[in-house]
Chain A
């Protein structure tokens, strides 16, 4: 029962390097999300995808790109990492039901440090 799987769990990048965080879900959910979590600020939405091929910017999209190639997978790319992107990143998915997103299920998180 995998649920939401994201990789890697830890990553250290140098300023200016690029990387892609991978996320896959096996729950047949339509909606997928990328959040970042910073101390004292809860979770903030980076990007959202309602379905394959569609993405929308969230609260803090600058410096990130996403790709939803199929229903299962939603990747997050940092093109040129900055120290301000040091954070814990979570991928999540949820069912869209009754006109809104229902409870989201989260991956294990990626702890990213940019030096």
Chain B
């Protein structure tokens, strides 16, 4: 079975600073994918970034990067140069070979302070 754990219910960051949102996962599969989604107060789920378990380099998408540490089973999201519009809920998720589901963590609420 797959499991995603996000231990930070809420985080605060100063505008223009970087912030790391933690995500650990558990799976017995060798092939899996890790994702991060953003959910602003308007409610939609926005895909941010993807990391495959066999990808050797950490994924990056603009100001988002995924710090993938396979041995530690962690997939932390790093947001650089935080903006007020980054204030939202952030969800970590994973998929695995043969699994019919995307497994989601419980989310971290990020608040960017001006």
Contacts and interface: CB of A to CB of B under 8 A. Distances in A.
Interface stretch (A13-21, A38-46, A62-70, A73-81): A38-46
Contacts of A108: 43-44
Interface in B64-110: 91, 93, 95-102, 104-107
Contact of A42 (B33, B46, B104): B104
A103 B101 contact: no
Contacts of B32: 100
A28 interface: no
Contact of A88 (B43, B50, B104, B105): B43
Interface string A97-115: 0111111111011010000
B25 interface: no
* Majority secondary structure, A binding face: strand
A100 B7 CA distance: 26
A109 B43 contact: yes
Contacts of B31: 98-100
Nearest to A35: B104
